[in-house]
Amino acid sequence: MTHPEGAGRLRKAPENFLDRAGIQRHLADAKAGRRDFIRSAFAAAAAATTATTAAAQAPGSRADGDPAILQLPEHSRGLGKPVVTDGYGLPSKFERNVQRRQSPGLTQTRQASVSFAPLQSLFGIVTPSGLHFERHHQGWWDIDPSQHRLMVNGLVKTPKVFTMDELMRLPSVSRFHFIECGANTGMEWGNVAVPTCQYTHGMLSCSEFTGVPLLTLLEMAGADLKKGKFLLAEGADGSSMTRTIPMALVTSGEVLVAYGQNGEMLRPENGYPLRLVVPGVQGVSWIKYLRRIEVGDQPFGTKDEVLHYVDLMPDGTHRQYTSLQECKSVVTTPSGGQQLLDKGFYSISGLAWSGRGKVQRVDVSVDGGRNWRTARLQGPVMSKCLTRFNLDWIWDGKPAVIQSRAVDETGYVQPSYRQLRAVRGTRSIYHNNAIQSWLVKESGEVANVQLS
Amino acid sequence: MTHPEGAGRLRKAPENFLDRAGIQRHLADAKAGRRDFIRSAFAAAAAATTATTAAAQAPGSRADGDPAILQLPEHSRGLGKPVVTDGYGLPSKFERNVQRRQSPGLTQTRQASVSFAPLQSLFGIVTPSGLHFERHHQGWWDIDPSQHRLMVNGLVKTPKVFTMDELMRLPSVSRFHFIECGANTGMEWGNVAVPTCQYTHGMLSCSEFTGVPLLTLLEMAGADLKKGKFLLAEGADGSSMTRTIPMALVTSGEVLVAYGQNGEMLRPENGYPLRLVVPGVQGVSWIKYLRRIEVGDQPFGTKDEVLHYVDLMPDGTHRQYTSLQECKSVVTTPSGGQQLLDKGFYSISGLAWSGRGKVQRVDVSVDGGRNWRTARLQGPVMSKCLTRFNLDWIWDGKPAVIQSRAVDETGYVQPSYRQLRAVRGTRSIYHNNAIQSWLVKESGEVANVQLS
């Protein structure tokens, strides 16, 4: 490992300092292609907050005369707050800007919209449930679990209806999986559109899910697993979200009817009290507020899979049922909107994942893809789960283009934009898994760029 | 797997229904040895809440005439709440009783006290940070990270002071580990004292921690790793919590100076912005609000290790520096305070852990230890981390005593109370890792018992 004596300072992205109006101006500037949008955002941030929190602190030892050392703070002298001040605790007030956020202007109504997880502020692989990305089609609800039912019907011997109590008494499993919206990075198909990784890649989260294998419920209902090659999954919210799930995914035991997320019950925004977990498949198939599973012998051709969530190909046709999330990765530090304040050591860190299994390797380039070094993968590397990678880097102060390229256990290699567009064109919304490029300018500012 | 057609109903423990006053009465009844304390708690709960949420729902299919199926609820017809209703989301209002709680009367002041995690309501292995157990010695604080410093001094070439910014730029690792207070289950040394697993075992949590290996900081300061066989770790809160850490734990790379917990910054109650993570060692050594590391050539003999956190042995001597948390387990369902409402299938579920490494096996008995069956371990099984286990069980309606016995990768077997007391006596507070027994009565009520 490089000895990080000369570790460089990093200024966080504007999301950490700006209020909602500031973020909106910042994103509008970025969208309009104003070249100084990062600088102006920081100017606004500096005006809106104190210098100590907005700017990175000066480096090095300050053993001589630093009042933070010499003067005992109140918390070293006084009596703090008692236990159970909060029966359910919250983050520090100093972290209040670490929030999931909308991308202003992306959608017309906030009930059929998206909020993005602040990937640039997260560590490891677990997404705190309070920061889990949101995608609602008709708004979210806090449903009374005692009134919620799950029906299993169709090609079954005995249609069944389960209460939550009944489901939660069945043998359960707990597994770590990522969930990614099929539209993640969807704004970037044509060109650079958003400035930070919160918006380029933030429709991505990872949790420990607990639930009952759907296969158990199908067996209890006597489902015809031979004729029944497809399932319909239906949600209870007003959007009547319905998706076809291939039976092959279910018979593997991987698909869960889940009630638990990161140790506790699902959050209302994520489908409380019950959602489908379909590892490796795009988020829209992880039906929230799950109320019905129907076994059928062909795809159901629902509105949410034949009209929406389809891929517009270069020849003008739409590709349907492309649900799997291919291997992908993103560097979260350094990333767009941040600024390197010094030459010297930086720890490059990011996330990799694949809908086909485990991540096998992540390579990182700092020269736009000419040379690659293999990053350290943080264990445990789990199937269809986020994997954190890290790599040491010495920045020499010259422009650099940072990229990560993931390879999964099937040997699939994450494509460049050139490779992806050669097949998919530029007018899709869904399933953009291209290599992300972050340009570090001589000023240290980091910008979202695409290499031609 | 047993086919769980006849899954029995389970009534949750009183914590799920009672308010704070109700819990206090309940615990007082339990302490006074009143035999009907569980029944009276449920009577109080029934009076305090509606039948639908207090009692388990009736089982079986209700496809005929169930209004929860036939009448479309409002959430299927209306427009829900928008994205970013909360930039940092919270659990459902229906889960408001899932809280960490005090054990009334255990401590005189709430600033030097404990709150217990609701293990009976948790799934998998991750503890939601809002429910992480608390142990404060002088209350908790929300410390400004820009003013926080970590000093490394003692047997080092160059004493160092780090800001949070500096620490967070160094190469980091992320690892899942349990943390258990040395006093967990400490009330049970003499006899049964508390009714539910929230209080018997709830000073236990598990998180993904992110931070810098302490070894990195010692190397940067030029620590003498030959003479420096011990470290002092000191916290910044008013208790001046100080503990000796053997250098051997640090040179393995396992000890972390951590700022991240479950993907985000540490919570203030758990040491924000910086705490020591000492995998496998009792929680008191995981110094919160970490402000100083001193390298020394002998144990430091601090107040918190020579007077407190010592084990009173049968011969009247005190054993010091017994920091390691030995292999232990507990069944969380069914557990004390719950009630089985039917004969039939139940999924026994619990947690196992060891301060020496991975859990190798968990055996479960339902007849007080005469016969044992090996439980399913939920992967990934990680070192010095909680491991979830599950086992199918058919209850025949007769009294049953449910126990779990964990074995770790060193071959260490969790002891019975008889075995533990033969060595340790009955007057200790710390390091009680005995096998827990839950008595299922013919009435289905589950009580905390100890077999002689």
**Each residue's pLDDT tens digit, A80-92:** 999 999 999 999 9
Spell out which residues of chain A touch residue B126, defining contact as CB-CB under 8 Å. 126, 208, 262-263
Spell out which residues of chain A touch residue B82, defining contact as CB-CB under 8 Å. 109-111, 113, 136, 139
User: Are B313 and B382 within one domain?
Assistant: no
Q: Are A189 and A428 in contact (CB under 8 A)?
A: yes
Q: Is B358 on the interface with A (CB under 8 A)?
A: no
CB-based burial of residue B244 (10 Å sphere; 0-12 exposed, 13-18 middle, 19+ buried)? Answer: buried
In a domain, A70, yes or no: no
C-alpha distances in angstroms, B357 versus A32, B255, B326, B382?
Answer: 55, 14, 10, 8
User: Are B153 and B292 within one domain?
Assistant: yes
Q: Is A71 on the interface with B (CB under 8 A)?
A: no
In a domain, B298, yes or no: yes
DSSP reduced 3-state for B273? coil
What six digits make up the tokens of A319?
């590709």
Count of C-beta atoms within a 10 Å radius of residue A396: 9
Split into its structural domains, chain B has a count of 3
Q: Taking CB atoms and an 8 Å cut-off, how many pairs form between chains A and B?
A: 388
Tell which of A319, A346, A362 closes a domain. Answer: A319
| DSSP code for B94 | G
Cis before B4? omega within 30: no
Low-confidence ranges of chain A (pLDDT < 50): 1-3, 48-63
Q: Is B127 on the interface with A (CB under 8 A)?
A: yes
In a domain, B88, yes or no: no
Partner residue opposite B166 with nearest CB, options A59, A102, A171: A59
What six digits make up the tokens of A158?
């005995």
Which is it for the CA torsion B286, B287, B288, B292, positive or negative? Answer: negative
Cα separation, B343 vs B346, whole angstroms: 9
Tell which of B267, B302, B319 closes a domain. Answer: B319
The C-alpha of B310 sits at a distance from chain A's nearest C-alpha, in angstroms, of 23
Q: List CB contacts of A412: < 8 A, sequence separation 6 or more.
A: A326, A327, A354, A356
User: Are B296 and B404 within one domain?
Assistant: no
User: Are A153 and A210 within one domain?
Assistant: yes
Residue B38 predicted with pLDDT over 70: no
In a domain, B181, yes or no: yes
User: Are B44 and B143 within one domain?
Assistant: no
Q: Are A129 and A100 in contact (CB under 8 A)?
A: no
Report the C-alpha dihedral over residues B99, B105, B107, B111, rounded to 10 degrees. Answer: 50
Domain range for B353: 328-449
Q: Are A449 and A401 in contact (CB under 8 A)?
A: yes
User: Are A312 and A346 within one domain?
Assistant: no
Query: Going by DSSP bridges, is the β-strand pair A387-395/A376-377 parallel, antiparallel, or unpaired?
Result: antiparallel
Give me the CATH number covering residue B360.
2.60.40.650
The C-alpha of B58 sits at a distance from chain A's nearest C-alpha, in angstroms, of 9
Q: Which pLDDT band holds residue B56 (cuts at 50, 70, 90)?
A: very low
Cα separation, A199 vs A133, whole angstroms: 11
User: Are A242 and A181 within one domain?
Assistant: yes
Q: Which pLDDT band holds residue B10 (cuts at 50, 70, 90)?
A: confident
pLDDT, position B184:
97
pLDDT, position A137:
95
**Each residue's pLDDT tens digit, B358-405:** 999 999 999 999 999 999 999 999 999 999 999 999 999 999 999 999
Amino acid identity, position A27 = L
In a domain, A27, yes or no: no
Q: Is A24 on the interface with B (CB under 8 A)?
A: no
Spell out which residues of chain A touch residue B389, defining contact as CB-CB under 8 Å. none
- In chain B, positions 393-452, which contact chain A (CB-CB < 8 Å)? none
Q: Are A288 and A164 in contact (CB under 8 A)?
A: no
**ipTM greater than cut 0.90:** yes
Q: Is B315 on the interface with A (CB under 8 A)?
A: no
pLDDT, position A50:
40
B83:A110 CB<8 A: yes
Alpha helices in A20-109 (DSSP H): 20-31, 37-48, 51-54, 67-70, 74-77
Cα separation, A335 vs A61, whole angstroms: 27
The chain B residue lying nearest A389, using CA atoms, is B173
Amino acid identity, position A356 = R
Cα separation, B319 vs B141, whole angstroms: 32
Partner residue opposite B111 with nearest CB, options A8, A82, A102: A82
User: Are A340 and A195 within one domain?
Assistant: no
Partner residue opposite A134 with nearest CB, options B83, B216, B378: B83
pLDDT, position B57:
44
User: Are B312 and B251 within one domain?
Assistant: yes
Q: Are B242 and B288 in contact (CB under 8 A)?
A: no
Cα separation, B245 vs A324, whole angstroms: 48
**Each residue's pLDDT tens digit, A384-432:** 999 999 999 999 999 999 999 999 999 999 999 999 999 999 999 999 9
Q: Is B269 on the interface with A (CB under 8 A)?
A: yes
Cα separation, B113 vs B115, whole angstroms: 7
| DSSP code for B341 | -
In a domain, A5, yes or no: no
B291 Rama class: left (phi>0) / alpha (psi -120 to 50) / beta: alpha
User: Are B442 and B344 within one domain?
Assistant: yes
Cα separation, B74 vs A144, whole angstroms: 11
Which carries the bigger pLDDT value, residue A220 or residue B63? A220
Give me the CATH number covering residue A273.
3.90.420.10
The residue with tokens 């939660």 is A168
Spell out which residues of chain A touch residue B127, defining contact as CB-CB under 8 Å. 263
What six digits make up the tokens of B205?
């949590």
Q: List CB contacts of B311: < 8 A, sequence separation 6 or more.
A: B318, B319, B322, B424, B428, B429, B430, B431
Partner residue opposite A264 with nearest CB, options B9, B109, B131: B131
Partner residue opposite A128 with nearest CB, options B170, B176, B264: B264
Partner residue opposite B68 with nearest CB, options A75, A149, A392: A149
Cα separation, A328 vs A406, whole angstroms: 6
Spell out which residues of chain B touch residue A347, defining contact as CB-CB under 8 Å. 169-172
**Each residue's pLDDT tens digit, B179-229:** 999 999 999 999 999 999 999 999 999 999 999 999 999 999 999 999 999
Cα separation, A305 vs A444, whole angstroms: 43
Which carries the bigger pLDDT value, residue A104 or residue B324? B324
In a domain, A292, yes or no: yes
Partner residue opposite B388 with nearest CB, options A113, A174, A289: A174
- In chain A, positions 138-197, which contact chain B (CB-CB < 8 Å)? 138-149, 151, 158-161, 163, 165-166, 169-174, 176
A88:B99 CB<8 A: yes
The C-alpha of A317 sits at a distance from chain B's nearest C-alpha, in angstroms, of 32
Q: Of the candidates A366, A27, A110, A325, which has an alpha carbon nearest to the alpha carbon of residue A205?
A: A325
User: Are A282 and A351 within one domain?
Assistant: no
- The overall average pLDDT reported for chain B is 91
Tell which of A266, A293, A319 closes a domain. Answer: A319
Residue ranges of E strands in B267-335: 275-277, 290-296, 311-312, 318-319, 328-333
Question: Hey, of B1, B123, B149, B161, which one would you mutate to test binding to chain A, going by the most A CBs within 10 A of its CB?
Answer: B123
Cα separation, A149 vs A170, whole angstroms: 15
**Each residue's pLDDT tens digit, A92-149:** 999 999 999 998 778 888 999 999 999 999 999 999 999 999 999 999 999 999 999 9
What six digits make up the tokens of A133?
């990305």
User: Are B282 and B351 within one domain?
Assistant: no
Q: Is B123 on the interface with A (CB under 8 A)?
A: yes
Residue B253 predicted with pLDDT over 90: yes
In a domain, B418, yes or no: yes
The C-alpha of A433 sits at a distance from chain B's nearest C-alpha, in angstroms, of 23
Question: Hey, of B90, B102, B126, B220, which one would you mutate to test binding to chain A, going by the most A CBs within 10 A of its CB?
Answer: B126
- Any bridge partners for residue A318, and if so which? A312
Cis before B334? omega within 30: yes
pLDDT, position A11:
85
Cα separation, B283 vs B294, whole angstroms: 19
Q: Is A238 on the interface with B (CB under 8 A)?
A: yes
Q: Are B64 and A93 in contact (CB under 8 A)?
A: no
Q: Are A122 and A131 in contact (CB under 8 A)?
A: yes
Spell out which residues of chain A touch residue B2, defining contact as CB-CB under 8 Å. 171
Query: Angle of helix B37-48 relative to helix B20-31, nearest 10 degrees?
Result: 170
B115:A83 CB<8 A: yes
